[in-house]
Structures are given as C-alpha cells and as structure tokens.
Amino acid sequence: MGNETTRREELLIVAARLFSRKGYHATSMQDIADELNILRGSLYHYIESKEGLLYELMELGIQTLMERVRPIVESDLPPDEKLARLIRQHTITIASYPDFMAVFLHELKSLSPPRRERILAYRQEYDHLVRRILAEGVERGVFRPVDVRVVSFALLGMVNWVYQWYSPDGPLSAEEIGTVFANLVLQGLLDRDDT
Amino acid sequence: MGNETTRREELLIVAARLFSRKGYHATSMQDIADELNILRGSLYHYIESKEGLLYELMELGIQTLMERVRPIVESDLPPDEKLARLIRQHTITIASYPDFMAVFLHELKSLSPPRRERILAYRQEYDHLVRRILAEGVERGVFRPVDVRVVSFALLGMVNWVYQWYSPDGPLSAEEIGTVFANLVLQGLLDRDDT
Amino acid sequence: MGNETTRREELLIVAARLFSRKGYHATSMQDIADELNILRGSLYHYIESKEGLLYELMELGIQTLMERVRPIVESDLPPDEKLARLIRQHTITIASYPDFMAVFLHELKSLSPPRRERILAYRQEYDHLVRRILAEGVERGVFRPVDVRVVSFALLGMVNWVYQWYSPDGPLSAEEIGTVFANLVLQGLLDRDDT
Amino acid sequence: MGNETTRREELLIVAARLFSRKGYHATSMQDIADELNILRGSLYHYIESKEGLLYELMELGIQTLMERVRPIVESDLPPDEKLARLIRQHTITIASYPDFMAVFLHELKSLSPPRRERILAYRQEYDHLVRRILAEGVERGVFRPVDVRVVSFALLGMVNWVYQWYSPDGPLSAEEIGTVFANLVLQGLLDRDDT
DNA sequence: TATGAATGAGGGTTCATTCAT
DNA sequence: TATGAATGAACCCTCATTCAT
C-alpha cells in the first residue's frame, strides 16, 4: 500500500486539475510543468503529446465510471434497486474524481477525430448500460412506461452536473446526495398502484 | 419586421456557434472572420475584444433565460404548476438557443475575474428563483420535505444537459421533453397522501 | 521595369540564399526574419509554412531551367547543335541563380512526400528533355551509339556541379564555361569517320 | 576475416545512411539510436558528439577515395591511362559507399569552421591529384590544350553525381559506368592528329 | 556499457490586437 | 467600414547532451 505516487501519476493528477479548472486549451504545458517543478520539455518523458495526455485523462475517467457501474447493471438485483445503486455509485464517482470527470465531460471537442471516436464509443457504451436498466424496469412493469431515452438523459444530466457544485466540505456526503437523487428519480418512476 | 440581421447580430450568432462547437480558446478571431467573409482586423469595428464578445454572448444567454422564467416565478400559480412551467420553459430555451446556452454553461472559466463575477451574479440570481419555488412548495406542504439545494441542482443538471443531446430533428419536441422532465420531477416531489 | 522588389520577392531571395548556404534545416525562420528586419511571426503573411517556402523555391528553380531549355529541345536544330546549346544554357542558368539551383538540387529530401513527388515529376520531365536530344543524335548517327541514360547523367552531373565552384569573379564567364563543357562532350560524342 | 562488425562500425554505417537519406540536421540522435536498438544516451559511449560523428564519416569518405586514387596518380602510367583509371576508380568508390560519399559531398556546411577546414584541405588535395593528371596530359601533348581547372570540375561533377542515380540493381555495373565515363572524357580530350 | 530522467535552448507556428491607409 | 502588414508574446514540441544509477 502506502501513498507512493509515481511522477507520472502526479502528472496525470495535476493535468486533470488544471484542465478541469482552466480548460484544456487555456492550460499550457508550462502550467503543468510549473506545478511539478520540472521544465516544459521534461514532460515529454512521461507523455507523448498534450492531446495524448488529454485522451488518457478522459479514458481514465470513463473507465473508472464503467468499472464501478457495470457490476451493478449485470447483477441480479431488481431494476429499481439497480437504478438506485447506479445513481448513487455514479454520484460518488463524480464526487471522488471531479477533475477527471469534468475533463471527460467537457473536453471531448478538444480531441482530434480519431481519439474523439474512441471516447465516444465508451460514452455510448455507458449510456446503454443506463438505458438497459430503465428498459428492464419498464418491461417488468416496475417503472411507469416512460421514454427511456429522455429519462436516461435526464438522469445523466442530474448526476453529471454534480461536479459543478459538489464540495467535500458541504453539508451532505456524496453518498447522501446520491441517495437524494435516487429517491427523487425512483419516486418519479415507480408505477404505484394507487388505485 | 422581416428577417434583417445586422452584421453585428450575425457576428454574435456565428461566434456563439463556434465557441460552442470548438470552445472559446480553440476558436480564433480568424475562424469568426472567415465565416463572416471579412478580415480578422475588421471584427474590431463591432466588438471591443474577444473576451468582451464572450461576455456578451454569456450575458445574452442568461438574460434570455431569466426573462422567460422570472414571470413564472413571480406569478400567482401554485408551486407545482410554477415548477412544471419553469422546467418546460428552461428546456425550451436551451433547445432554442443551444449555442448561446452551451457557451453560458461552459465558458465561465474563460472570463477574467471582473466579468466572471458579473455572470456568476446572474447565475446565482437564477438559482435563487428555482430554489424559491422549491422552498415555497415544501413550506406549503405541496412537496415532500426535500433538501432544496440538492434538488435544485438535480433539476438544473437535468435541464442544462439538454443542449448536449437535443436535436430539433429528434422524435420529441423541446416542449414534449420539458413535459417529460416536469412529470418526472413532480412525481418525485409531490407529497401524496397515500394513506 | 525598374528594380522594384516586393517584400515577398525579397523573402524568396533571402531564403534561397540562406537555404543554399546553411541548408534548409539549419536555417531558422528567425534567420530569415533577421535578414528582412521583421519578426519571425510576420513571415507568415507571405508564406504558408517553411516547407511551403522551400517548395516554392525549388519550383522556381526547375521552372526557370525548363523555360530556358525547352525551346532549344523543341527547335529544328541538328542534335549536336541542340546539345551544345542546352549545355551552355543550363550552365548559364545555374551560374545566374546558384542559390535557387543549389536548393533545388539538394533539398528534395527535406520536402514531405506529396511535395517531393511534384518536384520529382519536374525533374524527370527535364531528364527526358536531355535524353531526347541524345537519343535523337544517336538515331541519326550524329553521335556514337552510347548509353543514353548514363551519358545524360554524366552530362547533368557536370553542369549541376557548377554551382559548387562557379564564381562571377572567376576567370571565365558562365557562357565560356558552358562552351568548354559543350566542346568536351561533343568531342566525346561525335561519330567521326576517321577512316 | 569474417564479418564481425563492431558496435562502433555499425554506428558509423547507420549514421552515414541516415545522414545521407535525411540530411544531417534532419537526423536526430534518437533516429540513430533507434536503428541500433539502444538508447539515445548510450550513443555517447561511442562518439564524442553528433558533429564529431559527422566529421568522422566525412573523413572516412575522402580518405577512402584518396587511398584508392593516389596510387594511380603516382604510378608511371601515361596520362590518358591514368585518367581513365582514376575516373573508373572514383566511380566505383562512389558506387560502393554511396552513403559516406553523399555525406562527404553535401554536409560540409554542417561542420563548424575548424572541422570544416580540415575536410576542405583533404578536398583540395584530391582536386590537385586530378588536376595534376590533366596538366601532365596537356603538357605532354596527349590532351588538347584545355582549361585544366574547368575540365577537372566537369569531370568531378560527372563522377560525384553518380551517388544520385546509381543503383546496384541497374543494368550497368559501377565499373562499366566508369568505363563509359572514361571513354567519353578521353574522346573529348585526346589530341588526335586528324591530319 | 547501458539506462532514463532531466536540462535548457531553440524549433516552427498561431494568435489577438493595432494602425496607417 | 474595411484592409492587410506588422507586432510581440505565447504556444507545443524536439533536440543534443549530461549524469547519477
């Protein structure tokens, strides 16, 4: 264990922070080098190019998200419980790595087409995971017969927005926020038999 | 009336589109001038600086939103109806001016501090409008006793995200999407007396 | 008439001189800008890129050569007279524009493939002009039955090499040198009937 | 004997090839290291500096040429035979070591003044060998009374150009090409008594 | 011998902006 | 209004070389 951080990991963390705060194009390699107390040119021992660095951050972001959410989707839990857990887990992940997530969510346009395609593929894969739960719930009659596509976007907007306002010093923990979200959405979706 | 568009309005529209698609820093004055078929230097007859242009776009975005939403908040409608209308109206506005809205939502960090403060003030004002409705609803017992701050962020994330995926050619109109959103949220909030 | 030289022409001349003396890669845009007393960045008002500049110089070189030599080849003169004139004209051209010619002869490898191909095409066209004269002379029995390809290379090496040693202050003019060359080659080629 | 090639010799051969194909300045130490499958830094166990390496290649080139040509010049053969052999030998040498020869012929300008002087001295020494034969031939009345300087340059241009087009897979061997050259020049020079 | 992180300078290029015309 | 040449700073990146390991 231990908190050994390699120079390279440090670079990724610093870059994610700067890209997230100032934006990719507004962040210079100089800015990154300054934070690491090395020279501009020395960065290229660790990365191939600025855009390659961006890609790596975005890939890390989406992969982390997926690793945490996929087991939920593939479990045997009922759809409502799956959805609640997915919402909580997504919220927690965003709150845990807000810099990586902000970069992943905002800088797609800064990638050149080939790399952009690859990230887009991840993104679609993730979207499908979410929709699958919703579709399953509707099919089984657990959820109201909603427009799965629109609701999935509603849900993703809600949780992705978290990085914009979440603070670890705030009154609610990420898990608590996730629970509020889950309650809200489930209340809105459950097909109650209020005869 | 007629569709006269002054050169200046054209400039704003073109700039909004480019800033939204490529990002503020990735868009050059050259890019803008090219679309207008004039030369780089000639832009400065219409605007004071690139950053001034950005500010103007963002102000237009938030002001448009506010003009449309404020009357709803200040009306005498019951809280649930106010909320439904706000959600619909916000959704429609985003879908109507996606470029301006995307710029408003993403490029705050590209403004220098003084201008940033001014936009932030607008933003907070808008947030308060939303929270006021929620607080009112909870107070009157129309809504469940939810965390107003968190729910307002949930709601804003949901509607702001629309610019990311909305297409005028999609199966649902902006109004229909707004209605789906409103239903979802209201279902989630209403304090039903399901004795 | 008059000796008005536009800024752009000046740039080409200066670049040819520097590329020829120091080599393309060893010449920086700074070097060129210094000679013109402008800033590095200002060069890009006149050229598209350093490599584009190189291409333009090379194209100017080969086109100049071709314009001067083609009329000779296409004339109705007998082959030996054509060859003598070509050699003289080529020599004079090289001596008149040694910088452009040196760049043309040496920096092919500094061009990226697409541009390289275009220059190579010119080069082959020129080679064909030379070979056509030789072949014609051999066919008509004016020249000995030599290997046209090898002799054409011999001839081109001889005249191209001129830029390496020619000086306008030397004892012989470019035309005189061309005449020496022509005599040498013709003596070597003519099919004398020394029965 | 055997074909043991030390690491160092391998380095020289690889460097000559790269310098010849891409040019000295366009070739990075990285390029060389890559071909040898070692790291950039490790090159400095074998050489002192990039420029030192270039110098060594050029010296090898000119020395090889001189070693092969000097015995011919210093022999007791008649001038025309000497000249024929020199042309053949020079041609063969260029065709045998085209990379070294190309570097020697093109990269003089890439050397710093002190090293450049040394190579220039070799070059002049070689030029004198060639001129000595010509002068001798003219003096003895074997050759026509030509301008020795110009003819020597003609001859050198012809043979040096070989590296530009020679291919071991071509229809003629280097020796055959040398013979064509020698015939051409001698025919052009011999003082025939064509009464 | 070989490694690989680090240096420090310089490379070509782009940019927002100015200003005389 | 519009032009276009020029500015000056900053940009990303590459390079030859060093040196502790």
Number of domains in chain B: 1
Minimal CA separation from B155 to chain A, in Å: 7
pLDDT score recorded for residue C190 = 75
Does residue D30 lie in a domain region? no
CA distances to B12, B69, B138, B187 from B88, in Å:
26, 10, 20, 15
* pLDDT, position D3: 56
State the average pLDDT over residues B108-121: 96
| pLDDT tens, residue by residue, C23-39 | 999 999 999 999 999 99
Residue C88: pLDDT over 50? yes
Task: Tell me which chain B residue has its CA closest to the CA of residue A179.
Answer: B150
Mean pLDDT value of segment B21-32: 96
pLDDT given at position B1: 39
Of B106, B110, B177, the CB nearest to A150: B177
Smallest CA–CA distance, residue C3 to chain D, in Å, is 32
Chain A CB contacts of B156 under 8 Å are: 161
Walking along chain A (195 residues) 10 residues at a time, the average pLDDT comes out as 71 96 96 94 94 97 96 96 98 97 97 96 96 96 95 98 96 97 92 61
Residue D26 has pLDDT above 60, yes or no: yes
Give A28 CA → F9 C1' in Å: 14
- List the CATH number of the domain containing B155: 1.10.357.10
Task: Output the pLDDT for position D24.
Answer: 97
Facing residue for A165 by CB, picked from B21, B23, B153: B153
Length C44 CA → F5 C1' (Å) = 11
Residues 12-41 of chain C with CB under 8 A from chain D are 21-26
Contacts with C102 (C-beta within 8 Å, 6 or more apart), sequence order: C19, C20, C163
Task: Report the gap between the CA of C88 and the closest CA in chain D (Å).
Answer: 13
The pLDDT score that the predictor gives to residue A19 is 97
Strand, coil or helix: what is A190?
strand
Cβ-based burial of A168 (10 A; exposed 0-12, middle 13-18, buried ≥19): exposed
Residue D5 has pLDDT above 80, yes or no: no
Q: Are C115 and C51 in contact (CB under 8 A)?
A: yes
Question: Quick one: average pLDDT of D118-134?
Answer: 96
Q: Which domain holds residue B105?
A: 50-189
Query: Is there contact between D and B if contact means ≥3 C-beta pairs under 8 Å?
Result: no
Contact D158 C160 (CB under 8 A): no
Domain annotation covers residue C28: no
pLDDT of residue C51: 97
CB proximity B148 to A under 8 Å: no
**Chain C residues close to D164, C-beta within 8 Å:** 153, 157
Nearest to B184 among A24, A109, A151 (CB): A151
SS (H, E, C) chain D: CCCCCCHHHHHHHHHHHHHHHHCCCCCCHHHHHHHHCCCHHHHHHCCCCHHHHHHHHHHHHHHHHHHHHHHHHCCCCCHHHHHHHHHHHHHHHHHHCHHHHHHHHHCHHHCCHHHHHHHHHHHHHHHHHHHHHHHHHHHCCCECCCCHHHHHHHHHHHHHCHHHHCCCCCCCCHHHHHHHHHHHHHHHHECCCCC
Query: Within 7 Å: CB of A123 and strand F?
Result: no
Does residue C128 fall inside a structural domain?
yes
Asked if residue D181 belongs to a domain, the reply is yes
| CA closest to C160 among chain D residues | D157
Q: In the complex, which nucleotide's C1' lies nearest to the CA atom of residue C42?
A: F6
Nearest to C184 among D154, D161, D192 (CB): D154
Q: Which nucleotides of F are covered by protein (CB under 7 A)?
A: 1-19
Cβ contacts of D109 on chain C, cutoff 8 Å:
21-23, 26
Quote the CA–CA distance of D145 and D136 in Å, as a whole number. Answer: 11
- Checking each nucleotide's C1' against the CA of C8, the nearest proves to be F5
CA-based nearest residue in chain A for residue B112: A22
| Residue C33 domain flag | no
Mean pLDDT of D148-175: 97
> Please, which residues 91-120 of chain C have a Cβ atom closer than 8 Å to chain D?
106, 109-110
Question: How many angstroms is C1' of F7 away from CA of D175?
Answer: 60
pLDDT surpasses 50 at D2: no
Neighbouring chains of C at 3+ CB pairs within 8 Å?
A: D
Percent of chain C with pLDDT over 90: 92
Query: Would B40 be classed as within a structural domain?
Result: no
The residue of chain B nearest to residue A110, with distances taken between CA atoms, is B22
Mean per-residue pLDDT, C135-152? 95
- In the chain, the amino acid numbered B48 is E
The pLDDT of residue C4 is above 80 = no
pLDDT in tens, D77-95: 999 999 999 999 999 999 9
Size of interface C-D (CB pairs under 8 A): 106
Residue D152 main-chain phi, psi, to 5 deg:
-65, -40
Q: Under a CB-based contact definition with an 8 Å cutoff, are residues C142 and C80 in contact?
A: yes
Residue at B112 is within a domain:
yes
Residue B39, in any domain of the structure: no
Residue of D nearest to C147 (CA): D180
Of C151, C159, C160, the CB nearest to D180: C151
String of DSSP letters for A13-76: HHHHHHHHHH-TTT--HHHHHHHHTS-GGGGGGT-S-HHHHHHHHHHHHHHHHHHHHHHHHTSS
Contact in structure between D51 and D27 (CB atoms under 8 Å): no
Choose the weakest-confidence range: A147-151, C54-58, D7-11. Answer: D7-11
- For B48-89, the DSSP string reads S-HHHHHHHHHHHHHHHHHHHHHHHHTSSS-HHHHHHHHHHH
The answer to whether A158 touches A91, Cβ cutoff 8 Å, is no
Model pLDDT for residues B40-97, shown as the tens digit of each residue: 989 999 999 999 999 999 999 999 999 999 999 999 999 999 999 999 999 999 999 9
For residue B5, name the pLDDT band (cuts at 50, 70, 90).
confident
> CA C62, C1' E14: Å apart?
32
